[in-house]
């Protein structure tokens, strides 16, 4: 069995690596087999050498890399003050990361390296000359290169989250890096803003605002102006962006009846998506936008349903419990994450596409809701009030390794960005 799994993983890896020529060491690759088995790769992290003493305002580079490695869900970090072959050997850390920082005028030159522990061969090297405040993002870029080199997949260290922050008592839409750093406020209204989702290509956000005393959809590109989206429709909310076309699927309520609509924000045209007797909300697209998930109250309470984009093959997905809501389709296509209420508490679950194989990811820790998949499908961000106030957390898709990424105020409703298209495949090690 173990051998078969190994062969399968080698085959999977070989397939993944086909388009790139790489000498990456195949025997270190871990592939997660089944949903609840999350294999991680040990990796050494050594503090970066500093030429001249540096006045650190930000975290030191090796700490940023360590956080990326931990958050990624892919690695077990082996921290060491210096290169330590016996330690790396004992912990099976076949690679380690370190680097060098040199002040260049007001800037910092940050050289980052991924080494093979046994041979000390450089597997990857990148150099960034940046202001200290931009060093974190440079290291995120480097870390995504590391993931690509070792896993043959894109990592999420350079992605972002949009979420809702209570600022001076009003819910506002904000954006931060995926690790919670570099938060910037997007809406500045005196009325509630909520439900942010990313435009295709991460050019901006769609969200809901109450300035007209009712929920209405708006769009705002980063650095651009706010526009009303589908102003011809009544109360509009619950937006979901088609990852292939950029179309919006959303809810609109007319005379107390809520239906799904589909529209193209670039033309402003929208039409009813499905004619159903029930109320429908919380739409979500499959990764290739051929199918949608949504919530319907046809059974009284909220339950999750699926159907084809053309309205075909309507089927109920969830049957356990009375309150299953806000489904989202994993980027790998094989699982659905959703929120379920039991005894007044919200918790996050995943299930197979047919509703079987239910796995509860959170329990006994306040309310846990609004799961959103990382674009690589390895992680789920969500909001929880387990600490007293609502904050954003990231966990692996099996519910392990829960890490809080926001600390103050009240933060809810995270949605993960798409991949940024400017990712460059790593150059060969020097």
Closer Cβ to other proteins, 244 or 257, answer by number: 257
3-state SS of the chain is CHHHHHHHHHHHHHHHHCCCCCCCCHHHCCCCCCCCCCCCEEEEECCCEECCCCCCCCCCHHHHHHHHHHHHCCEEEEECCCCCHHHHHHCCCCEEEEEEEEEECCEEEEEEEEEECCCCCEEEEEEEEECHHHHHHHHHHHHHHHHHHHHCCCCCCCCEEEEEEEECCEEEEEEEECCCCCCEECCCCCCCEEEEEECHHHCEEEEEECCCCCCEEEEEECCCCEEECCCCCCCEEEEEECCCCCCEEEEEEECCEEEEEEEECCCCEEEECCCCCCCEEEEEECCCCCEEEEEEEEECEEEEEEEECCCCCCEECCCCCCCEEEEEECCCCCEEEEEEEECCEEEEEEEECCCCCCEECCCCCCCEEEEEECCCCCEEEEEECCCCCCEEEEEECCCCCCEECCCCCCEEEEEECCCCCCCCCCCCCC
The residue from 136, 149, 326, 378 that contacts other proteins (CB under 8 A) is: 326
With contacts defined by CB under 8 A, name the span among 72-80, 90-98, 260-268, 295-303 that binds other proteins.
295-303
Site for other proteins contains 311 (CB under 8 A): no
Contacts 24+ apart (CB under 8 A), 221-230: 222/175, 222/186, 226/187, 229/263, 229/265, 229/268, 230/261, 230/263, 230/265, 230/268, 230/270
Residue closer to other proteins by CB (options 297, 357) is 297
Q: If binding is defined by CB under 8 A, does position 272 make contact with other proteins? A: no
Q: Which stretch binds other proteins (CB under 8 A): 26-34, 71-79, 105-113, 191-199?
A: 191-199
Of 33 and 192, CB closest to other proteins: 192
Question: Per CB under 8 A, does 213 bind other proteins?
Answer: yes
What is the rounded distance in angstroms from the CA atom of residue 289 to the CA atom of residue 243? 7
| 346, 351, 394, 405: which one binds other proteins (CB under 8 A) | 346
Contacting other proteins (CB under 8 A), which of 168, 255, 310, 422? 255
Q: Residue 158 or 295: which CB sits closer to other proteins?
A: 295
Residue 350 interacts with other proteins (CB under 8 A): yes or no: no
Number of residues that bind other proteins (CB under 8 A): 35
- Give whichever of 19 and 256 is closer to other proteins, judged by the CB atom: 256
- Structure-block tokens of residue 138: 């440079």
114 makes contact with other proteins (CB under 8 A): no
Complex with other proteins: residue 122 or 254, whichever CB lies closer: 254
Candidate residues 32, 126, 247, 325; the one interacting with other proteins per rule CB under 8 A: 325
Residue among 134 and 297 whose Cβ is closer to other proteins: 297
Binding flag, residue 323, other proteins (CB under 8 A): yes
Q: Of these, 117, 339, 350, 415, which contacts other proteins (CB under 8 A)?
A: 339
Query: Given the complex with other proteins, which of 255 and 310 has the nearer CB atom?
Result: 255
Mask for 220-239, x = binds other proteins (CB under 8 A): ---------------x-xx-
Residue selected from 195, 260, 317, 381 as contacting other proteins according to rule CB under 8 A: 195
Kindly identify the residues of this chain, within the stretch 364-383, that bind other proteins according to CB under 8 A: 369-370
Contact flag: residue 258 with other proteins (CB under 8 A):
yes
CB of 410 to other proteins, least distance (A): 12
Sketch the per residue contact string, 146 through 185, with other proteins: x for CB under 8 A, - otherwise. -----------------------x-x--------------
Interaction residues for other proteins, span 394-413 (CB under 8 A)? 413
Task: Summarize as ranges the residues that interact with other proteins (CB under 8 A).
Answer: 169, 171, 192, 194-195, 210, 213-215, 235, 237-238, 251, 253, 255-258, 279, 281-282, 295, 297, 301-302, 323, 325-326, 339, 341, 344, 346, 369-370, 413
């Amino acid at each position: 069995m173990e051998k078969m799994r190994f062969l399968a993983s080698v085959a999977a890896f070989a397939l993944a690596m086909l388009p790139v020529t790489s000498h990456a060491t195949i025997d270190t690759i871990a592939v997660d087999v089944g949903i609840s088995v999350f294999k991680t790769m040990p990796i050494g992290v050594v503090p970066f050498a500093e030429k001249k003493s540096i006045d650190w305002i930000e975290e030191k580079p090796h700490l940023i890399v360590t956080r990326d490695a931990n958050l990624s869900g892919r690695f077990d970090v082996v921290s060491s003050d210096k290169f330590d072959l016996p330690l790396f050997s004992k912990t099976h850390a076949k690679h380690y990361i370190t680097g060098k920082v040199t002040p260049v005028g007001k800037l910092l030159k940050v050289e980052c390296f991924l080494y093979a522990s046994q041979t000390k061969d450089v597997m990857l090297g990148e150099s960034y000359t940046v202001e200290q405040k931009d060093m974190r993002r440079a290291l995120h870029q480097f870390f995504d290169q590391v993931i690509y080199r070792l896993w043959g997949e894109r990592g999420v260290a350079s992605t972002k989250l949009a979420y809702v922050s209570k600022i001076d008592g009003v819910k506002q839409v904000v954006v931060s890096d995926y690790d919670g750093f570099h938060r910037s406020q997007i809406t500045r209204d005196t009325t509630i803003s909520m439900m942010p989702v990313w435009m295709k290509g991460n050019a901006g956000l769609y969200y809901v605002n109450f300035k007209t005393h009712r929920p209405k959809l708006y769009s705002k590109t980063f650095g651009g102006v706010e526009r009303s989206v589908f102003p011809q429709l009544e109360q509009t909310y619950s937006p979901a962006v088609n990852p292939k076309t950029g179309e919006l699927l959303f809810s609109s309520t007319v005379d107390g009846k809520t239906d799904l609509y589909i529209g193209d924000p670039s033309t402003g045209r929208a039409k009813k998506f499905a004619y159903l007797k029930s109320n429908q909300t919380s739409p979500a697209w499959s990764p290739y936008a051929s199918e949608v998930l949504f919530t319907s109250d046809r059974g009284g309470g909220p339950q999750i349903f699926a159907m084809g984009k053309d309205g075909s093959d309507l089927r109920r997905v969830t049957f356990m419990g009375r309150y299953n809501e806000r489904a989202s389709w994993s980027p790998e296509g094989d699982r659905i994450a959703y929120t379920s209420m039991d005894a007044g508490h919200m918790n996050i679950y995943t299930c197979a596409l047919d509703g079987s194989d239910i796995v509860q990811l959170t329990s006994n820790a306040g309310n846990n809701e609004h799961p959103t998949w990382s674009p690589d499908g390895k992680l789920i961000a969500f909001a929880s009030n387990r600490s007293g106030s609502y904050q954003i957390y990231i966990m692996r898709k099996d519910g392990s390794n829960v890490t809080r990424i926001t600390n103050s105020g009240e933060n809810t409703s995270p949605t993960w960005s798409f991949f940024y298209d400017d990712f460059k495949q790593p150059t060969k090690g020097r």
